Amino acid sequence: MPRPPEDPAFHDFLDDVADLAEDDPEAALAMLDEAGPAWQDHPELHYLRGDLAWRIDGPEAAERHFARAVALDPRHADAHHALAQVHEAAGDHDAMVRHYLEVLRLDAHDDIGAGIGTPEDQRFIAAVAEEVLEHIPDEFRDRLGNVPVVLEARPARYLVEEGFDPRALGLFEGPDHFVQRSAEAVAAPSRIVLFFANLLASYPDEEELREQVEVTVLHEIGHYFGLSEDDMERLGLD
């Protein structure tokens, strides 16, 4: 099914709903129900309705709305991503992975059209990451050693097949600092991966991108030192 034609009035309406949702998601959901009949089968309306339903009643209530968005537009990557998270919450690993793989495919296709990830973009991200490493305290930098920061466009397919979010911004791979110092250390080296296409797609503003690269590098360094996701959240590195 072809995507609905762009309608500026419709997108203005969605922006108004999103603004209202910040303070009153239930009122925003009611506002969606008042949309004209010509808009009721627009995939974006169903996607936003799913987002609001999740906020109000949880993922189970959101599933049918995200599924409707995908039925209307099978290329709706955001709806596939939301469905993957619905299935993750329900413990359905296979369904989660199926939608995550579709997100990976669709996002990679969109990257080509949008020209995301130019050499200049990648140099900027690499430079910011290098600045972060230069400014961490000496005691941590010494313990970090030669763990490299590398750039890849998006997570590899094998990671997504294992359930890794294809829109993740970064990844720590390999044994952490404590395992490396123990007899259990393995030959595979540790490394920090930044997924530049995901970073650029999520943060097109340069200052916001710089801030997120800094947070992502520190987050993955935290994993190297054995911090959990809860630890990272308490430190503001989530």
CATH number of the domain to which 43 belongs: 1.25.40.10
10 Cβ contact list (under 8 Å, min separation 6): 39, 42, 44
Residues 29 and 82 in one domain: yes
Query: Of the residues 114, 133, 152, which one is the last residue of a structural domain?
Result: 114
Residues 110 and 31 in one domain: yes
Helices (H) and strands (E) in the chain, counts: 13, 3
The pairing of strands 170-173 and 149-152 is unpaired
Average pLDDT of span 216-232: 77
pLDDT value at residue 66: 98
Residues 183 and 210 in one domain: yes
Domain span at residue 182 reads 119-234
177 Cβ contact list (under 8 Å, min separation 6): 143, 144, 224, 225, 226
The pairing of strands 191-195 and 170-173 is antiparallel
Would residue 2 count as lying in a domain?
A: no
Would residue 33 count as lying in a domain?
A: yes
Residues 167 and 110 in one domain: no
Would residue 1 count as lying in a domain?
A: no
How many domains, the chain? 2
Query: Of the residues 66, 99, 114, which one is the last residue of a structural domain?
Result: 114
Q: Which of 75, 98, 76 is nearest to 86 (CA)?
A: 98
Given a cut of 70, whether residue 63 has pLDDT beyond it is yes
How deeply is 187 buried, as exposed, middle or buried, from its count of CB atoms within 10 A (0-12, 13-18, 19+)?
exposed
Residues 64 and 166 in one domain: no
Residues 82 and 135 in one domain: no
Cα separation, 125 vs 206, in Å, equals: 10
Residues 142 and 183 in one domain: yes
Residues 131 and 181 in one domain: yes
Where are any strands of DSSP class E within the chain?
Answer: 149-152, 170-173, 191-195
- Which of the given ranges, 3-17, 87-101, 210-224, has the highest pLDDT on average? 87-101
Residues 104 and 125 in one domain: no
Torsion over CA: 23, 65, 45, 204 (sign): positive
pLDDT value at residue 114: 64
Cα separation, 134 vs 151, in Å, equals: 18
Query: Of the residues 53, 80, 114, which one is the last residue of a structural domain?
Result: 114
pLDDT tens column, 202-221: 999 999 999 999 999 988 88
Kindly indicate the confidence band of residue 98, based on its pLDDT and cuts at 50, 70 and 90. very high
3-class DSSP state of 236: coil
Residues 188 and 203 in one domain: yes
